[in-house]
Structure 1
Amino acid sequence: MLNWLKKQFSSASQEETTPAIDTRPTESEQSEQAAELKIQGDAFLKQGKPFEAQQCYEQALAIAPKDASLHNQLGDLYYERRDLKGAESHYRQAVHLQPDFVSALLNLGLTLDESGQFLEAESFYRQIISIKPDEVLAHYNLSVTLASQGRTEDAIASCRQALSIRPKFSQAYFQLASLLGMQGDANNAEEALRQAIECDPQFVQAHWTLANFLQQQNRIPEAIQKYREVLELAPQFDQARDSLLAILFSTQQYSEAESIYRKLCLSTPEDAGIQNNLGVTLKAQDKLADAEICFKLAIQLRPDFVEAYSNLGATQLQKNQLQEAVISYQKAIDYKPASLEFYPVLARILRQLTRIEEARNLLLHAIKLDGNFAHAHFELGLLYEEQGELSKAETEFRKTIELMPAHSVAHGYYGVLLMNQERYQEAEASLRRCIQEQPNEAAAHDNLGMVFYLQNKYSEAIPHFKKALELNPVLENAWNNLGSTYVRMEQWSDAETNYCKSLHINPDSPLTHINLARIYLNQKKFSKAEASFKAALKDKPDGFGDAYTILGTILQYTGRHMEAIACFRNAIAKDPGFMEAHSHLLFQLGLGNADSPEEYRTEVLAYQSKLAADSTPYTTWKVSPQINRRLRIGVVSADMGNHPVGYFLENVTKEFDLQKIELVAFSNKTRNDNVNARLRQYFSSWHSIENISDPVAAEMIHEQGIDILIDLAGHTAENRLPVFAWKPAPVQCSWLGYFGTTGVPGMDYVLADHISVPEQHEEYFSEKIWYLPETRLCFTPPAIQPSLEVAANPLPALLNNYITFACFQSTGKLTDFTLALWAQVMQSLPEARLRLQCRELENAEIRLHTQERLRQFGIAPERTELHGPSSREAYLAAHKQVDMILDTFPYAGGTTTCEALWMGIPTLTLTGTTMASRQGASLLTYAGLSDWIAKDKNEFVRLAISHSSDLNKLSQLRSTLRNQVLASPLFDATRFAHNLQDALIGIWSEFAKKL
């Protein structure tokens, strides 16, 4: 800016200060001749003939060598030709001949200034000021020279002095603005620029500088308007136009940018660059067809226009014209092989087209051209990850980060890769680095939340999901993940709210509908659950085995057992690797398939085959073969808490001889209830395997050096049976929580008793049966409350004059067979009543459905009472209104039978051929109630009538039954623990002998 001003004002100062031709008389005719030559030179100069003018001046100077004005004129000619040395020589001669020649002094100062001789230039300007203090250009030029020396304060003072002499001096205001800007005084600099424009509204450079200033101040609308004004004053000012276009692009004002480019295209139709830029503008507005035409025209005008090929490829990619995009990007590479930025883009498109080898080779070629090309390494990492080559993917992501430590996306992808490998600490570090580089990257916060979620650190996960949603409120995954976190925390309302917000973003999301269905299922809102299931499969009826599993569970709860089985089979057909569906099917077959062990065994073999194919069992273990030593017993369960499994387990664990048995827990569900707290004290260590993959969970167990690993779940909910297929312990057993064979390869034993599994039924098990000498179960009595004492509670039938039958089991166990059998009993005892109570009956739909099923089997609604869940104390107290329990078939009661026995209420059971159907018989046998076990349907009805007919005997049993069962193996924890402990030692001895 300063040089431009100095050049502009050198001629102006000359016009204002050049003295008239020296007309002093000469001594000879030579003087007249010199004057004539000078006049001719001036004439040539006016005609725009500087060389002819120079010849005249030089001839005149030869005649009159002491003519200072001639030297000054020649200096101007040399200056105009940018011959600064020639100009300086003549200006010096002029000043030498006439020391007070102000115009020559100004010109000499300007020339020295432009030659970088600032100090000498300064001295000449000061000489002028001493001669003529009000010479405004001297003050102005001095300001310029001082600024060039970095003496800003002095420069400002000189500039202000110039303005005091000439207040309307626009160039001085412009210079002052520059100086104030250098000092960071933005406000006064802006004011000086506006003063310059006020003095000279046509001052283009001032308008341009003010526009730039406004843009730097982020005053975008003002800057845009000022650029427009610049272009009105100077339509060909390319730099101003480019700045305006850039700011229009940055503010997405594409329409105006398009208008500018279209005008340029009309004025310069052969300019390929302008055609390309118009295409970019159109593409930004999603006018893809027009943009494509522009890029193709640009290429037609310039066949080697690499940028146009790239833009054309990007447009075709946006139009999903992948094959065409490949051709365009390949052309860009062909014309400019060294332009490495095109390689990753083309490789990504090739990946989309599943042309994997081409993509791989392209990226490897790019890396060969430049081994430090981070983007090629990153794309190669994505390719390897997509192909399941995780080790290679990790190598490439690491290389990317090594080359470009601030590559936030690489940190993000690497973090997810580590998370999927359950390397959570490394994943957390990588994702935190991603966020450090890009704090507003919502997906990174979402993924970091998942790292904590997968470690069961829910309170730490929630803030990251919320941060992701704060940054991107339409991030569907984050709403889903937040909902799933609340599910884990059993905050059902919050979970439902977040899933619904996810659906608001994507109403057709199958995953979200499935998640909602799970919540509704947990809350027993079966109609809503079924509706969500159907919505999940609306557009893809052949997918999502998970959804079919949910529907099967709904059908199971509503007693539609055969339909449930069909759903679980459908789920397996859709996704054979979905092991949860296999477990649901096996559970359902045991629950309601008419006591058919053969069909169950067929499905077990299919499950066994799938597990065997998906696992690599350990063959060595960190254990000692010594027999007489303390054994490390691992226990795997999601139910070690306020759950039926916990009720059975607690009474036993506290009676183990911990000198012989060391218990190690592997919990698949976080529980913080009072039962869990009591159980923990009997375990030497407690490990969570929740959300940990089967191989990693198996490795964790293997590292603990477990001698015998016990599963407490079987095919019930939240089981970890696939972990056992990895054989993390040398001996593995199934006990307590399940009623049949698991079918798991590597599961060695099922712990049972002779009643639940007679020897002739061993063929139905893939495991060996290890028989306990008495019952396979031992129940923990509830903490006795005075209100639960039964001695003062007479038999209700004595007061009611009718028998009250009851069942406290899940509606899922109410098979058609069961209801038909009960109906026979109720028909035989027309005054009897039936009370049903369970969690599912809290739901109005289930109550109505159950009532209707009972009616269909001939049990009138007025003879039944249906109750939902209550506190455990209230639930136990409800037994005081009951005379007798009717068991279900083929899945007999377990916990409810034991609780009823403790409350003095006997259960009438029917025995079958499966372990599930013989569970009631086992419990009653060891409780000393063999006469309450029916061998067939007819005997069941007969026994119901018989026991109901002798109320005195039933009343006597009621008053003594608690003490009777407390003394039995079923409640004698010390006795049972001794038997179980001996069994575990015996199992280990057999194994150790084989080593």
Structure 2
Amino acid sequence: MARRASPACWWRPMRSATESGGWPAGLAALAGGAPAAAVPLLEEAAAAGEGGGLAPLNLGLALMQLGRLAEAVPALEAAARALPGHAEPAFRLGTIAGLRGEAAQAEAHFHAALARDPRHVPALAALAALEEESGRIEAAVARITCARLLDPAEPELDVAAARLALRLDDLPTAIARAEAVLAQRPAHAGAARLLARALLRRDGAEAALVDVATRAAADPTSAGLAVAAAELHGAAGRYPTALAELRVAAMLAPDAAEIQAALGLGLADAGRGQEAEPLLRAAIAARPGDLDLRNRLATVLWKSHRVSAMLEMLEEAIRAFGPQPILLMNQALALNALGEQAAALEVAEAAVAHPAGGTQALMNRMAVLPYHPERGHAAALLAAGRAVAARLGPAAASPARPRDPDRRLRVGLLSGGLGQHPVGWLTLAGLEALPEAEFDLIAYSLKPRSDTMAGRFRARCAVWREVGALDDASVAAMMAVDGIDILLDLGGYGDGGRPGLLQRKPAPVAIKWVGMQTGSMGLDGLDWMLTDHWETPAGFDAFYAERLLRLPEGYVCYLPPAAAPPVAPLPALTRGHVTFGCFNNLAKVTPPSLRAWARILAAVPGARLALRTHALGEAATRDRVRARLAAHGLPEDRVALEGGVPHQALLAAYGGIDIALDPFPYAGGLTVCEALWMGVPVVALAGDSFCARHALSHLANTGLPDWVAATEADYVALAIERARDLPRLAALRAGLRARVAAAPLCDAPRFGRSLAAALRHAWREWCGPATPV
């Protein structure tokens, strides 16, 4: 989530020469650090005309401290009218504009403040921040130099000077300025991080750590030096040690909001959201103008599957900061995760239309569009992907490699899911079966994982690199040094995907496979899409910018969990009614799916429907879903809404399901494989996009193509027909696991041979015709 430089804020109450009437109580509350108590007093004073223009000015300050930026604007505008020669109203309005991402308006307000008072230091610093953000570094340095001459004791100006010096690679100045701040404020986290970065650049990681340790030995109570050590350990990839240093810093400076925020961010990065959340909420209260903190809290709520809470927090942020692209993008993801696909796409489109939306907004739309029941079709996905490609620019030239069609190849795996993740369950067995004599695997892991499956990935890979903290250029350079011949992208436009890296063309051959494989990525940096003839039958090539590399059977190899519970008997035989189930995430549960499910329940007497996914563990989300169910005619007393459980328990829950109902248009992938392994057949509907045909591929690859419908009406009829034949259903269930185990879907050696042949074909195509010697 993006971080934006914000104009500097000096939260100081503005006093009049003589204070009389009822408004001094509001001023005293604001000066005493109680802006919530000050607001009603200052509102009353402003309405009564007390304090002149200073009453609405201080009311604006109080509202800003509370993060109520939209409410602060009218008060500050009133102050500007009442105090035409005063710089503060213009400066505060500029600060709000900057926080809301309105750079041009912010700059105009700051210039207006300086026109009233050329020695207004905060306005100079704020203009420097805007110039720095826009890349005008020399101009920013001039502003900060002027501001420091006017107010040499203000540490935030030294912090800005250090940051600018670092950007200019003036390491002595950066170090000196950071040291000066830490001498005054030993708990200043921003100065500590700048010191660490300057030392790292000057001396390297290990020498910089020794330097910081020496400083800390001389001043063991310095919280800032612990933050600097955390920064250096993080840069070296030693994340647990970095987190331990942040804990030390937080203990040394329990009242330093920035350090508590840093600890919260570190805990969030470590996946410890329950510990991170209170720290982040406290940091937001202390720093209501920090948009990045709100984004990180949104991430924590997302990872804990509290999507309704995330949405509420984002809506509050949008009211304060305006519809900034980063907030809109996260709001779109939250709405989509709640199954509100139309609203999600509308918000994603608003982010794309925003002048500051950029490439990230286009990629965000690609993460939402496939779920839309009407607009998520194959042609739309191709067009949206091409829009991303146009923004990224043309792909780089293919790197030079020996054009030997038969030599041993180095295959890169780019993914955040190299472990217990859908990517892992659907690729690991096939990759393990690749002939080691022909293919070296090099992993570029975007997220650290330590589970058993991650261990198996590590064992198969000749080289393992953790690259999540690196930018696209650095990863591409690493791949060039590693001599990658074929790059398998296993991320797409999903969480952690790297389309920009693919456009850098770090390998001669790039192939899309699994991992948000929803349709064409639209990139000319991708050469092939690994597929099969069910996913992309003849005639579908026009929907893809990539060439289609069709495997003879399914495009994935499912690895069944070794500890899966045994298949349970058909529950309908003892319950007296059929139980349908869907264990997919809510983003896939569309209005057409709900409409079809309502028709099925209406036609099958006594039937029940069980929905299970992590998001349904949140009460507010269950309430939203119940309202949607009712709107589509699904009776509440016949639908169970169940939250997520550990994987073993999830598999066991299939013991209570007779027939799985696959959602559409975005079909189940891993969920279909797991249902089949647990003896539960799946009724599915095939569309035209790649993700609309996952279930078809898996079912057909298991010998069950007759469980896939071509229209919504056929889908409903198919579910009703199968639910009425319990003996046939029971017989299928009893033998389904053995059938899946024997099918190509789970035949790793067979799949490995097919994958090897496909990779070799793609490589030979790149090598071109043999050249006579």
- 524, 528, 544: which is aligned to 1:749? 528
Q: Percent identity?
A: 28
Q: What is the CA-CA distance between 1:743 and the residue it aligns to?
A: 2.5
Contact 1:778/1:972 (8 A) holds in 2: yes
1:421-456 deviation line (CA, Å, top 9, x unaligned)? 997567657766876898776555435423433554
Amino acid at match of 2:279: N
In the alignment, which residue of structure 1 is the partner of 2:332? 552
What secondary structure is seen at the aligned counterpart in 2 of 1:760?
coil
Matched with 1:870 is 645
- The equivalent of 1:509 in structure 2 is 290
The alpha-carbon distance between structure 1 residues 837 and 721, as it changes in their structure 2 partners (threshold 3 A), is same
- Counterpart Cα distance in 2 of 1:405 and 1:927: 66
Matched residue, 1:569:
349
For 1:346 and 1:814, the matched residues in 2 are separated by 50
1 or 2 for the larger relative contact order (CA 8 Å, sep ≥6)?
2
Q: Distance in 1 between matches of 2:563 and 2:577?
A: 29
AA matched with 1:899: E
Match of 1:494 in 2: 275
Distance, in Å, in 2 between the alignment partners of 1:742 and 1:531 is 31
Provide the C-alpha distance between the structure 1 equivalents of 2:494 and 2:337, rounded to a whole number of angstroms: 14
Task: State whether residues 193 and 227 of structure 2, in contact with CA within 8 Å, keep that contact through their aligned partners in structure 1.
Answer: no
Letter in 2 for 1:678: R
548 and 422 in structure 1: CA distance in 2 versus 1, 3 angstrom threshold = farther
Q: Could you list the per-position Cα deviations for residues 16-50 of structure 1 after superposition, in whole angstroms to 9, with x for gaps in the alignment? A: xxxxxxxxxxxxxxxxxxxxxxxxxxxxxxxxxxx
Unaligned runs of 5+ residues in structure 1 are 1-319, 330-344, 365-378
Q: Distance in 1 between matches of 2:566 and 2:457?
A: 26
Displacement of 1:990: 0.9
Relative distance call for 1:654 and 1:598 in structure 2 (3 A) is closer
- Measured in 1, the distance between the counterparts of 2:126 and 2:720 equals 77
- The answer on 1:652 being equivalent to 2:433 is no
Describe the SS at the equivalent of 2:478. helix
> In the alignment, which residue of structure 2 is the partner of 1:683?
461
Given that residues 577 and 610 in structure 1 are in contact (C-alpha distance below 8 angstroms), is that contact kept between their aligned partners in structure 2? no
Deviation at 1:987, TM superposition (A): 0.6
Give yes or no for contact 1:586–1:715 (8 Å, CA) kept in 2: yes
Q: Which AA in structure 2 matches 1:549?
A: M
1:824, 1:328 → 2: CA distance?
69
Letter in 2 for 1:699: A
Deviation per residue, 1:318-354 (Å, 9 max, x gap) = xx9867997999xxxxxxxxxxxxxxx9998996897
Q: Which moved more, 1:768-777 or 1:959-968?
A: 959-968
Alignment check: 8 A CA contact 1:468 1:475 kept: no
Note if 1:525 corresponds to 2:302. no
Instruction: Decide whether aligned partners of structure 1 residues 418 and 944 sit closer, same or farther in structure 2, where only a CA change above 3 A counts.
Output: farther
- 2:709 corresponds to: 934
> Which residue in 1 is equivalent to 2:383?
602
3-state SS of paired residue (1:717):
coil
Q: Is the 8 A contact 2:382 2:521 kept in 1?
A: no
Q: Which residue of 1 aligns with 2:590?
A: 815
CA RMSD of aligned residues (A): 3.8
> In the aligned structure 2, how far is the partner of 1:483 from the partner of 1:832?
47
Give the deviation of 1:978 after TM superposition: 0.7
User: What amino acid does structure 2 have at the position aligned with 1:501?
Assistant: A
Q: Would the aligned equivalents of 2:678 and 2:737 in 1 still touch at CA under 8 Å?
A: yes
Distance 1:781 1:985 in 2: 27
Distance 2:742 2:446 in 1: 34
User: Is the 1:638–1:713 contact (alpha carbons within 8 Å) kept by the matching residues of 2?
Assistant: yes
* Structure 2: unaligned runs, 5 residues or longer: 1-111, 146-156, 184-190
| AA of the residue aligned to 1:886 | L
Following the alignment from structure 2 to structure 1, what is the Cα–Cα distance between the partners of residues 308 and 706?
42
Partner of residue 731, structure 2? 956
In the TM superposition, what are the counterparts of 1:576-975 in structure 2 within 5 Å? 576=356, 579-594=359-374, 595-612=376-393, 617=396, 619-621=398-400, 623-737=401-515, 738-784=517-563, 788-790=565-567, 793-975=568-750
Structure (1 or 2) with the greater helix fraction: 1
Task: Report the more deviating stretch, 594-603 or 547-556.
Answer: 594-603
Code of the residue aligned with 1:781 in structure 2: it is: P
Q: Secondary structure at the match of 1:617?
A: coil
What amino acid sits opposite 1:828 in the alignment? A
* CA distance in 2 between partners of 1:381 and 1:503 (Å): 21
- Aligned to 2:464, the other structure's residue is in SS state strand
Deviations 1:886-931 (CA, angstroms, capped at 9, x unpaired): 1110000111111111122111111111111111111111111111
Deviations 1:704-743 (A, max 9, x none): 1111011111112122232212111111111012121122
Q: Helix, strand or coil: the match of 1:984?
A: helix
Taking a change above 3 Å as real, the CA distance of residues 440 and 624 of structure 1, as seen in their structure-2 partners, is farther
Residue 155 of structure 2 corresponds to residue 397 of structure 1: no
1:376-391 matched pairs, under 5 angstroms = 386=164, 390=167
Query: 1:447 and 1:576, CA in 2 relative to 1: closer, same or farther beyond 3 A?
Result: farther
1:789 counterpart letter in structure 2: P
Which SS does the other structure have where 1:681 is aligned? Answer: helix
Q: 1:991 aligns with which of 751, 763, 766?
A: 766
Judged with a 3 Å threshold, the aligned counterparts in structure 2 of structure 1 residues 564 and 412 are, in CA distance, closer, same or farther, namely closer
Tell me how far 1:815 sits from its aligned partner.
Answer: 0.5
Give yes or no for contact 1:851–1:861 (8 Å, CA) kept in 2.
Answer: yes
Task: Quickly say closer, same or farther: Cα 1:818–1:456, change in 2 above 3 A.
Answer: farther
**CA pair 904-348 structure 1, distance change in 2 beyond 3 A:** closer
Q: Call closer, same or farther: CA 1:938–1:710 in 2, change over 3 Å.
A: same
Separation in structure 1 between the aligned mates of residue 621 and residue 203 of structure 2, nearest angstrom: 41
Measured after TM superposition, the shift of residue 541 of structure 1 is 0.5
User: What amino acid does structure 1 have at the position aligned with 2:171?
Assistant: F
Q: Distance in 2 between matches of 1:960 and 1:407?
A: 72
C-alpha distance in 2, partners of 1:520/1:359?
37
Give 1:687 deviation, angstroms: 0.4
- CA distance in 1 between partners of 2:660 and 2:514 (Å): 22
Letter in 1 for 2:687: G
Q: How does 1:218-297 map to 2 (within 5 A)?
A: none
Distance across 2 between alignment mates of 1:555 and 1:347:
40
- After TM superposition, the score normalised by the length of structure 2 is 0.74
- 1:347·1:359 contact (CA, 8 Å) conserved in 2? no
Contact 2:227-2:249 within 8 A present in 1 as well: yes
SS at match of 2:743: coil
Give, in whole Å, the separation in 2 of the partners of 1:624 and 1:442: 53
Q: Quick one: distance in 1 between partners of 2:563 and 2:305?
A: 31
Distance 2:126 2:372 in 1: 53
The separation in 1 between residues aligned to 2:273 and 2:468, in whole angstroms, is: 19
Letter of the 2:619 partner, please give it.
Answer: A
AA in 2 matched with 1:397: L
Partners in 1 of 2:143 and 2:719 — Cα distance? 81
Q: Contact 1:668 / 1:720 at 8 angstroms: preserved in 2?
A: no
Distance across 1 between alignment mates of 2:636 and 2:609: 10
Can you list the C-alpha shifts for 1:214-255, whole angstroms capped at 9, x where unaligned? xxxxxxxxxxxxxxxxxxxxxxxxxxxxxxxxxxxxxxxxxx
Does the CA-based 8 Å contact 1:794-1:955 persist in structure 2?
yes
> Which amino acid letter does the alignment assign opposite residue 717 of structure 1?
D
User: What is the correspondence of 1:374-453 to structure 2 with a 5 Å cutoff?
Assistant: 386=164, 390=167, 393-394=168-169, 396-398=170-172, 413=194, 415-416=196-197, 442-443=223-224, 445-453=226-234
SS across alignment from 1:912:
coil
**Residue pair 2:163, 2:194 contacting (<8 A) in 1 also:** no
The Cα shift of 1:982 comes to 0.7
CA shift at 1:685, angstroms? 1.3
1:89-128 mapped onto 2 (5 Å cutoff) = none
- Which residue is 1:254 aligned to? none
